[in-house]
Chains A and B, each alone.
Chain A
């Protein structure tokens, strides 16, 4: 029977915390770029211009159907050759996950916007609002409220997917864990600790979104699912 010994792992906890910090950086940046990009893609897909709509649909479906790891490899290994730029693991990671998650966010936006009753568009139109103003003032505020559960779920997926960047040697939590495991020869303890860290990171994040949902539900109409 194996004797558990966390001493070596905990002694190098700062390595893991650094990894955690790097993970959070990529996660936050990918969200910051991915959400607006997702909104753009969603509006593009719903546009009445067929070319724009088809192009956005293609981008969305392409990034939803190809595995994130393949995308990451493509952006890290292939893109730099194609356009001859220097690609760091960090840039490749942020680029990949911004675009990848934007495709999923786009579908959430689209679903949210489509779920709003047609009468809301009509009422806004009838008081003279432009399409843009209706979207911004009337439709989106209601849609976003409904999107929060799906949005949270997708963000958690993103957070978990960031582990892939360890494969292009970006020093995220997963990568640091691999390093530490080979340094200490204690993979069981290291990977268990890392699993627990991810578990709590995600737990904290999902609790925050539940709180947010609750707060929003109190103002005006409740969140409808």
Chain B
């Protein structure tokens, strides 16, 4: 246990780390943005009463929920180019894997949220002459969104953590950059400890936020 901690050897490379943080942030913003909006659409398709819409959407969701993200990223990186002849960069592979995965997971959150709204609300919308789309947009979604906020925030946290998987295809995000530093300086203890702390410090407030949201918008909403 007499290791001499030397964090200076990590912070000397702060520019390298900064590149990684930026990479993580870019992945997070793009994948969360695309993943949640795609999830909303997919969730509504899942909710559709038409079998022709419902079944393919369900297949999509099940496939992406029941296979590991890492397999998805690697598949997009190594397999998709063979299939299509298009070159896939690490960045694109990571975006594809994480986004499509997030769509599948958030689709279930959206569907669950929409389903949790009482039938009477639909009927009330109909009774004052609203169309399906209008009722959905103006009556159902605003109520459902409140209940969905905590699980959607959790999704965001998952995406942030998932972004580290991009290091497997050598996309320069935080973990990848720490790997780089560790291999230059032989300081894996400090390098990986710093990365762990960075994630902890960034995500802890978000986790606390989900607790607050759960308490405020949990099952019983006034």
Binding site for B on A (CB under 8 A): 2, 61-62, 64-71, 73-74, 77-78, 81-83, 156, 159-164, 166-167, 174, 177-178, 181, 187-188, 191-192, 194-195, 198-199, 202-203, 206
Q: Is B196's CB within 8 Å of the partner chain A? A: yes
Instruction: Please judge, given known A-B contacts A65-B157, A81-B189, A160-B69, whether A195 and B199 are in contact too, CB under 8 Å.
Output: no
A70 touching B71 by the CB < 8 A rule?
no
B70 touching A188 by the CB < 8 A rule?
no
Distance (whole angstroms) from the CB of A154 to the closest CB of chain B: 12
B200 touching A66 by the CB < 8 A rule?
yes
Kindly list chain A residues whose C-beta atoms are within 8 Å of the C-beta of B162.
Answer: 67
A73 touching B203 by the CB < 8 A rule?
no
8 Å CB contact of A65 from B1, B182, B207: B207
Interface residue SS majority, chain B: helix
B68 touching A198 by the CB < 8 A rule?
yes
Kindly list chain B residues whose C-beta atoms are within 8 Å of the C-beta of A71.
Answer: 196
8 Å CB contact of A77 from B68, B69, B192: B192
8 Å CB contact of B3 from A82, A162, A194, A198: A82
A191 touching B168 by the CB < 8 A rule?
no
Kindly list chain B residues whose C-beta atoms are within 8 Å of the C-beta of A66.
Answer: 161, 196, 199-200, 203
Kindly list chain B residues whose C-beta atoms are within 8 Å of the C-beta of A62.
Answer: 196, 200
8 Å CB contact of B161 from A2, A68, A162, A191: A68
Interface string of B64-81 (1 = CB under 8 A from A): 001111111011001100
Interface string of B172-197 (1 = CB under 8 A from A): 00010001001000001100110110
Q: Is B89's CB within 8 Å of the partner chain A? A: no
Instruction: Please judge, given known A-B contacts A77-B188, A198-B66, A198-B68, whether A69 and B82 are in contact too, CB under 8 Å.
Output: no
Kindly list chain B residues whose C-beta atoms are within 8 Å of the C-beta of A70.
Answer: 164, 175, 192, 195-196, 199
Q: Is B83's CB within 8 Å of the partner chain A? A: yes
User: Complex formed: what's the CA distance from A82 to B2 in Å?
Assistant: 8
Kindly list chain A residues whose C-beta atoms are within 8 Å of the C-beta of B207.
Answer: 61, 64-65
